[in-house]
């Protein structure tokens, strides 16, 4: 394994990491992948929609060199001219912290804005976020739905519930209710159910290499296979809680098809009342992304395509591409985002009804 210190150590590890093998197996150019996926993310943020001095805040951001993320339709979002967490110490760092702490902006990775942009929740709706902490997606939805829409932000882990409550308070959001349940066992509400659900499930983070360098050393192909059942179970619970005609977004910060397309294939077989629907591209106009996969191959622990899929650790037939043509057609409606597409992290989203 490569040394973890310095850029040379990172690049050396990227050359041999199973994560690079995963990217290659998906048809991503190896050199482009390593070039972009080893670089720090730019600082990005959302401008709070209903803050009383939004004009002043916007001027401060533009003065810092902020550039609008034009594909963030319905929410002003910006990319700043420095790496995440590396604001200059000329007053910029202090001002940016002040803007965030006072609820004028929310620092958020650009890719993680996608679930709410895709779901497009509306006022007067009731939305459930199954795995809400630290709260960037729940608060994003709440701002768009205010003042008449309500977000139920659920988080099972006590320490993360505190972060969720802090972010709700930081933004002075009165339409967010916080609950603490295992996402697989969230209780029912009176019929007809939730209008919209966010299932941004726990994952291996294989698409987070630009903000979490440890992924280059820690990620292995068996990780997604160990997460699969948890992801299916959380998404299935969401499907059970959704009202007829309601919409649910499933998302991960992983590019592993076992955590993404394979989960969606299993979900629509397990919950036959659910269907994958087309994403309205006008909600993210200008974003470069890719259709979901309909073919992929299991990898061994070195990140190589295995000649005998049944021999990889924790193998299950459900991790393979489905043979049903209708399901394959549904998977093509999902979307993948790669780091080199828009100078972001990677992401996966699927919209279901």
Residues 6+ apart with CB under 8 A from 317: none
β partners of residue 254: none
Whole-number pLDDT of residue 37: 97
d(CA 192, CA 219): 41
In angstroms, rounded to a whole number, what is the distance separating the alpha carbons of residues 149 and 125?
5
Name the pTM for this structure. Answer: 0.96
Asked if residues 137 and 155 have their Cβ atoms less than 8 Å apart, the reply is no
Look up the CATH number of domain 110-352: 3.40.50.150
> Catalytic one among 131, 203, 253, 271?
253
Residue spans of the domains in the chain: they are 110-352
Look at residue 205 in the predicted model and tell me its pLDDT.
Answer: 97
Is 131 among the residues known to form the active site?
no
Nearest to 139, CA basis, from 46, 237, 246, 249: 46
Main-chain phi, psi angles of 303, to 5 degrees:
85, 20
Reduced 3-state DSSP string for 260-297? CHHHHHHHHHHCCCCCECCCCHHHHCCCCCEECCCCCC
So what's the pLDDT on residue 224?
A: 96
**Any residues with CB less than 8 A from the CB of 70 and at least 6 apart, and which?**
285, 286
The reported pLDDT for the residue numbered 107 is: 98
pLDDT (0 to 100) of residue 225? 96
> What is the rounded distance in angstroms from the CA atom of residue 306 to the CA atom of residue 18?
13
Do 295 and 257 contact (CB within 8 A), yes or no? Answer: no
pLDDT at site 74: 92
Residue ranges for the chain with pLDDT beneath 70: 1-5
Q: What is the pLDDT of residue 4?
A: 64
195 CB-side CA count, 13 A: 14
Q: What pLDDT, on the 0 to 100 scale, is given for residue 6? A: 72
User: CA 184 to CA 192: how far, in whole Å?
Assistant: 19
pLDDT of residue 110: 98
Q: What is the pLDDT of residue 282?
A: 97
Could you tell me if 22 and 221 are in contact, meaning their C-beta atoms sit under 8 angstroms apart? Answer: yes
């Amino acid at each position: 394994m490569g040394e973890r210190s310095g850029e040379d150590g990172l690049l050396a590890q990227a050359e041999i990491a199973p994560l690079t093998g995963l990217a290659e197996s998906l048809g991503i150019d190896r050199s482009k992948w390593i070039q972009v996926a080893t670089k720090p993310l730019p600082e990005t943020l959302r401008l709070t929609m209903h803050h009383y001095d939004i004009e002043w805040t916007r001027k401060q951001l533009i003065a810092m060199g902020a550039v609008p993320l034009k594909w963030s339709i319905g929410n002003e979002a910006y990319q700043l001219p420095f790496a995440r967490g590396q604001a200059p110490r000329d007053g910029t760092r202090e001002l940016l912290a002040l803007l965030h702490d006072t609820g004028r902006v929310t620092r958020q990775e650009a890719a993680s804005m996608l679930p709410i942009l895709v779901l497009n929740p509306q006022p007067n709706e009731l939305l459930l976020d199954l795995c809400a902490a630290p709260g960037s997606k729940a608060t994003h939805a709440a701002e768009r739905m205010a003042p008449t829409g309500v977000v139920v932000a659920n988080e099972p882990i006590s320490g993360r519930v505190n972060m969720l409550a802090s972010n709700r308070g930081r933004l002075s959001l009165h339409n967010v209710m916080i609950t603490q349940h295992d996402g697989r066992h969230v209780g029912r509400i009176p019929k007809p159910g939730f209008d919209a659900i966010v299932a941004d499930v726990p994952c291996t983070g294989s698409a987070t290499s630009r903000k979490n360098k440890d992924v280059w050393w820690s990620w292995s192909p068996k990780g997604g296979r160990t997460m699969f059942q948890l992801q299916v179970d959380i998404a299935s619970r969401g499907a059970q809680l959704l009202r007829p005609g309601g919409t649910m977004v499933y998302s991960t910060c992983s590019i592993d098809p076992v955590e993404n397309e394979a989960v969606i294939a299993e979900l629509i077989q397990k919950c036959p009342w659910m269907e994958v629907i087309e994403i309205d591209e006008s909600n993210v106009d200008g974003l470069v992304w890719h259709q979901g996969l309909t073919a992929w191959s299991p990898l061994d622990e070195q990140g190589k395509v295995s000649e005998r899929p049944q021999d990889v650790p924790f193998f299950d037939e459900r991790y393979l591409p489905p043979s049903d043509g209708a399901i394959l057609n549904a998977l093509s409606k999902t979307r993948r985002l790669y780091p080199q597409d828009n100078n972001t992290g990677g992401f996966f989203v699927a919209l279901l009804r």
